[in-house]
Structure formats: structure tokens, C-alpha cells
A and B are shown apart, each in its own frame.
Chain A
Amino acid sequence: GAGVSQSPSNKVTEKGKDVELRCDPISGHTALYWYRQSLGQGLEFLIYFQGNSAPDKSGLPSDRFSAERTGGSVSTLTIQRTQQEDSAVYLCASSLKIRVGGAGETQYFGPGTRLLVL
């Protein structure tokens, strides 16, 4: 497709279960980002992948959160032993990122995965 896609659109899970959220970036985009948005809040940075570089994990809130990006394309965000406070919209974005600054920095967002932990 032309844009960033995410799946599932919605996920309801029970406290303590693990969940996996998927992101398909725009084809050719080298950078991929995960954000979390709680109800009525701004975007909270989670993790950033750029090419083959080590990911910037500085935003992950706990060691229950992890993410990987296979083949420089699709990414999976995994939340282990989910807690009710993990309920939020998880947004993925990608950017072209050929060089520092300029149009390649612009991030394009997917529609998000709405996670509800009961």
C-alpha cells in the first residue's frame, strides 16, 4: 500500500497476557518509529529504528516492552505481561531519512492499534 499500515486495528487482552503489534512502513523508508498515545494525551516516543544501526530504545517504559524490525522493513512491538496502564493507542511512523534534516525527516503515521487491557 501507499501508506503505513498497522495491525491489528484493535486489540483487547487480559492483564498478564503478551501482545504483538505489527507495523508495515512505507516502502523504501529507512526509519521506523513507535509511539504511544494515551487517551487525550500527546505522543510518547517509544523506540526508533534507522537502517542497520542499533535502535534507540530510550523511550521504552519498562523491560516488558520490546521491538524488532526484520529485514529493515516490518516491525513488531511486543508487550509482555500486559498491565492495565498499557492501554493506549500505539502508533507507528516511518520516514525516508536519507540524510540529516530536510524532507527525509518527515514522519508519516499509520492509523494506530488501539490496545485495551482488561
Chain B
Amino acid sequence: GQQLNQSPQSMFIQEGEDVSMNCTSSSIFNTWLWYKQDPGEGPVLLIALYKAGELTSNGRLTAQFGITRKDSFLNISASIPSDVGIYFCAGQPFDRGSTLGRLYFGRGTQLTVWP
């Protein structure tokens, strides 16, 4: 099956610092999504990417769909305490088999921001 490797597993940073996390896959993906999950909540979509090389921003967040279609990264600039949470990458593989439509998720990056 598809494997998504998300790193780092956790990050402890000071308020104001920039953050970078990434996700790699073992095969080509045609969609990359980044979600954030707060404690006790479901994941909330941050950024969606649909084309290789696409670079998309959402406020202080920037994400890119890797040119090889096997990776994606998420950057957070000037972090603030409310950025705390778990960030998940998710991808839709380029596959027309029975698993079409299924998203594969990374294991998450736990972000802690110290004031």
C-alpha cells in the first residue's frame, strides 16, 4: 500500500520562529492536502494542492506540491501560540484502481509553541 512519511514527528519552537514540515510518498500523488487538528476536534483543512509545482499560501502558511509529485512541504512563518496542534499531510495517489478516492495520511507533526 501507499506509504506517507511525515517529518518531523514533533517540534518545539519559540513564538515568532518559522516552522517547516514535509511529507514524502512512495508513489506519485495527484493531490496533496494539509490539515491541522486541535485537541478534541476533527482535522481542519489548511491548504489543498492539485498540481505539481503548485505553491499556495493561506495567511502565514505556505505549502508546495513537489515537482516530482512525491512530496509536499508546509511552512508556517512567525509562529504564534495558537499554531499549537497536530499537522497532518494527506495525499490522493495517482491510481485508478479500487482505492481511488481514499486519502492516505501521514502520522502527523505535533507542534508546540512556547510563548
How far, in angstroms, from A64 to B37 measured CA to CA in the complex?
A: 28
CB contacts under 8 Å to B, within A101-118, are 101-103, 105-112
A101-B50 in contact (CB<8A): yes
CB contacts under 8 Å to B, within A59-118, are 59, 91, 93, 95, 97, 100-103, 105-112
Known: A105-B92, A107-B33. A56 touches B101 (CB 8 A): yes
Tell me whether A52 is interfacial, beta carbon within 8 Å. no
Interface centre among A42, A56, A58, A106 (most CB of B within 10 A): A42
B43-A91 in contact (CB<8A): yes
How far, in angstroms, from A1 to B90 measured CA to CA in the complex?
A: 25
Which among B31, B40, B99 is the interface contact of A105 at CB below 8 angstroms? Answer: B31
With both chains docked as a complex, state the minimum distance between the C-beta of B75 and any C-beta of chain A, in angstroms: 20
Known: A45-B102, A97-B101. A108 touches B88 (CB 8 A): no
Known: A50-B101, A58-B98. A101 touches B30 (CB 8 A): yes
Tell me whether B66 is interfacial, beta carbon within 8 Å. no
**Which B residues are CB-close (under 8 A) to A101?**
30-31, 50, 92
How far, in angstroms, from A112 to B105 measured CA to CA in the complex?
A: 17
Tell me whether B115 is interfacial, beta carbon within 8 Å. no
**Which B residues are CB-close (under 8 A) to A58?**
98-99
Known: A103-B48, A109-B43, A109-B44. A42 touches B105 (CB 8 A): yes
Which among A48, A91, A108 is the interface contact of B45 at CB below 8 angstroms? Answer: A108
B98-A106 in contact (CB<8A): no
**Which A residues are CB-close (under 8 A) to B103?**
33, 45, 105, 107
User: Which chain B residue shows the least CB distance to A91?
Assistant: B42
CB contacts under 8 Å to A, within B76-115, are 88, 90, 92, 96, 98-108
A sample of 10 inter-chain contacts (CB < 8 A) reads: A41-B107, A45-B104, A56-B98, A56-B99, A58-B98, A95-B101, A100-B96, A105-B31, A105-B50, A107-B33
Q: Which residues of B contact A (CB under 8 A)?
A: 30-31, 33, 35, 40-45, 48, 50, 88, 90, 92, 96, 98-108
Q: Using A42-B88, A109-B35 as known contacts, list a sample of 16 further A-B pairs with CB atoms less than 8 Å apart, ordered by residue number in A.
A: A31-B101, A33-B102, A43-B88, A43-B90, A43-B105, A45-B104, A91-B42, A100-B30, A100-B96, A102-B50, A105-B50, A105-B92, A105-B103, A106-B45, A106-B48, A111-B41
